[in-house]
């Protein structure tokens, strides 16, 4: 069996996709595979891409030279394949090993984009990068269909959804019974998560004793985070909306345990690990009817689906669950049943091993 090199993002992981990559590498290592994880998150070679005009070319050449030593199977996060084209061409033609690409999100590609030049350029860009892969792993049926729409053969695209970190998602006791009427949103502070619409929707509801708690990484987009803070100040909601740093895992478990409603107002989302985490905690969910989310949330069953970027629809859904504790309980129970025997990392990663053995990687 060839050595497997993981060319991935931040270690320790900071996003759902990075968590998937990292846990996959650790699982394979525990199963006896020879693994080397290479974080490209802050590599100097990647920073060369910032040079005007020739930056990406320089980054590709530099990484190809540095990674030439990696003779074996390459497992790459698709975000970085824009800098690995030369590396993958060498891998493809010299037959030094297989290339497997992990696709969590097709950055910049929107099938509904009305600006045709940008749409087709981004489509071509992703197609070229993915065409160099021997196989592609993605996290949802929606994402698989999106990749196939680029012109990639369906037989090379495999769906392996992420799992729930059950061992880390502890049920915590209430710290203060008066503080248990919480609406929780776990999402990095970036614009595509639609948090600005959630804040506006919260301001439009008859909130009673409910508070809104936002959990994410402020450093992902510090300007957007400050924009959210400013918006909360303008609405005079400082005593009702709270920002938390997602790096505090014990606090996250506490917030999950005390929450009554979970909201993810994403404008675009290829999966949403936090949705299955919320179901694990028995929370009713309000989220948007975009991308792969309807594969997880059935409207009226384990949650409510609303259009993206629509604060009025969000406010209506929030009010409905705030006013109906019985409905919250029913939806939460349905969500728990949905994840009780599924979304285990071992299930997906066992499938990955089957793929490796089939292709003799």
Residues 155, 190, single domain; the answer is no
Structure tokens at 52: 């005007």
- Do 150 and 189 share a domain, yes or no? no
Predicted TM-score (pTM) of this structure: 0.89
Mean of the pLDDT values across residues 1-24?
Answer: 91
Q: Note the pLDDT tens digit of each residue in 203-223.
A: 999 888 899 999 999 988 999
- Are residues 144 and 29 part of one domain? yes
Residue 117 has pLDDT above 70, yes or no: yes
The whole-chain average pLDDT of the chain stands at 92
Q: For residue 175, what pLDDT is reported?
A: 58
* Phi-psi region at 35: left, alpha or beta (left = phi > 0; alpha = psi -120 to 50): beta
Domain that holds residue 133: 4-163+344-358
Q: What pLDDT does 358 receive? A: 82
Tokens of 157: 């695209």
- What does the pLDDT average to over 223-250? 95
Is 93 or 257 the better-scoring residue by pLDDT? 257
The two counts, helices (H) then strands (E), for the chain are: 14, 12
- pLDDT over threshold 80, residue 115: no
pLDDT value of residue 122:
87
Same domain, 208 and 287: yes
pLDDT at 178: 46
Residue 29, pLDDT score: 96
Length of the chain: 361
What confidence score (pLDDT) does residue 340 get? 93
Give the mean pLDDT of 325-333.
97
Do residues 99 and 133 both lie within one domain?
yes
Per residue in 313-324, pLDDT tens?
999 999 999 999
Question: Do 93 and 220 belong together in one domain?
Answer: no
Residues 220 and 154 in one domain: no
Residue pLDDT, tens place only, 279-315: 999 999 999 999 999 999 999 999 999 999 999 999 9
- Please indicate, yes or no, if residue 168 is contained in any of the structural domains: no
Q: Does some domain include residue 170?
A: no
Residue with tokens 């109906």: 324
139 and 263, same domain (yes or no): no
Q: 354 and 328 in one domain?
A: no
Is 254 a member of any domain?
yes
- In percent, the amount of the chain with pLDDT more than 90 equals 78
Domain count, the chain: 2
In this structure, the number of other CB atoms found within 10 A of the CB of residue 141 comes to: 12
In a domain, 282, yes or no: yes
CATH number at residue 262: 3.40.50.2000
Torsion sign, CA atoms 232, 187, 291, 323:
negative
- Are 147 and 282 in a shared domain? no
Q: What is the mean pLDDT of residues 109-123?
A: 75
Angle (CA) 155-161-166 rounded to 5° is: 160
Examine the domain organization and report whether 354 and 334 are in the same domain. Answer: no
Q: Is residue 129 part of a domain?
A: yes
pLDDT > 70? residue 114 = no
Per-residue pLDDT at 180:
61
Q: Do residues 215 and 306 both lie within one domain?
A: yes
Give me the residues paired with residue 100 across strands. Answer: 75, 135
Answer whether residue 171 is part of any domain.
no
* Domain-located, residue 277: yes
- Determine, yes or no, domain membership for 98: yes
Task: Give 244's contacts (C-beta < 8 A, 6+ positions apart).
Answer: 213, 214, 215, 216, 251, 252, 255
Average pLDDT over every residue of 341-361 = 89
Element (H, E) at 182: strand 182-186
Contact residues for 350 (Cβ-Cβ < 8 A; gap 6+): none
Here the tokens at position 187 are 């999402």
């Amino acid at each position: 069996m060839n050595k497997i090199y993981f060319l991935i993002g931040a270690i320790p992981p900071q996003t759902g996709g990075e968590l998937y990559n990292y846990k996959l590498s650790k699982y394979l290592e525990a199963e006896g595979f020879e693994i080397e994880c290479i974080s490209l998150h802050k590599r100097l070679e990647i920073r060369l891409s910032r040079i005007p005009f020739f930056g990406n070319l320089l980054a590709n050449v530099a990484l190809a030279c540095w990674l030439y030593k990696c003779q074996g199977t390459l497992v790459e996060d698709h975000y970085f394949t824009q800098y690995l084209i030369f590396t993958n061409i060498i891998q493809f033609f010299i037959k030094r090993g297989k290339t497997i690409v992990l696709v969590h999100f097709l950055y910049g590609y929107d099938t509904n984009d009305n600006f045709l030049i940008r749409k087709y350029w981004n489509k071509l860009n992703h197609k070229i990068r993915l065409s160099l892969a021997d196989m592609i792993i993605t996290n949802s049926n929606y994402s698989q269909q999106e990749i196939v729409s680029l012109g990639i053969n369906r037989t090379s695209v495999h769906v392996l959804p992420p799992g729930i970190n059950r061992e880390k998602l502890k049920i915590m006791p209430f710290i203060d019974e008066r503080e248990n009427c919480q609406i929780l949103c776990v999402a990095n502070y970036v614009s595509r998560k639609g948090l600005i619409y959630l804040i506006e929707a919260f301001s439009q509801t008859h909130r009673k004793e409910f508070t809104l708690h936002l959990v994410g990484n402020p450093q992902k987009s510090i300007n957007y985070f400050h924009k959210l803070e400013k918006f909360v100040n303008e609405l005079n909601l400082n005593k009702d909306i709270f920002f938390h740093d997602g790096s505090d895992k014990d606090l996250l478990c506490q917030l999950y345990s005390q929450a009554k409603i979970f909201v993810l107002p994403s404008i675009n989302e290829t999966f949403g690990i936090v949705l299955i985490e919320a179901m694990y905690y028995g929370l009713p969910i309000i989220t948007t009817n975009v991308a792969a989310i309807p594969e997880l949330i059935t409207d009226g069953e384990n949650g409510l689906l609303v259009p993206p970027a629509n604060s009025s629809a969000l406010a209506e859904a929030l009010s409905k669950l705030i006013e109906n504790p019985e409905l919250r309980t029913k939806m939460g129970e349905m969500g728990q049943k949905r994840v009780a025997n599924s979304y285990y990392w071992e299930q997906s990663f066992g499938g990955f091993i089957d793929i490796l053995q089939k292709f003799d990687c």
